[in-house]
Amino acid sequence: MGSVRRVAVPIVISLLLAGCTDGQDASRPDCHQGVLIDDGGRCQALRKRDGSIVTFHADMNGWRLGQQACVCGPKAVMTQCPRETAVDAVWLAPFCPPARSTR
């Protein structure tokens, strides 16, 4: 269990520290920003500015449809979400995580 934590913690931290902008950041293809919508079937859904839809699973307590959000995570390998772009959400917030400094 300890070795799994040693591997997982840096991955999660790196995802949280990476940034995204409107729609999708070319340097962070795993972050998506848009509006929460009711079009995800069994999953939550977010419509990006370009009209594409990203689906994901997350605790939506406190969220409402029409709210701006940013969801980050790798493309889902296995999912019950009905859309082509489904992600394993590791970040869900009204804003995307801050970009890493390039210093």
pLDDT, residue 46, reads 95
Q: In this model, does residue 40 exceed pLDDT 60?
A: yes
Are β-strands 44-48 and 68-72 bridged in parallel, bridged antiparallel, or unpaired? unpaired
Give pTM, 2 decimals: 0.67
What is the CATH architecture assignment of 2-93? Beta Barrel (2.40)
pLDDT in tens, 46-101: 999 999 999 999 989 999 999 999 999 999 888 888 777 899 999 999 998 887 65
Domain limits, the chain? 2-93
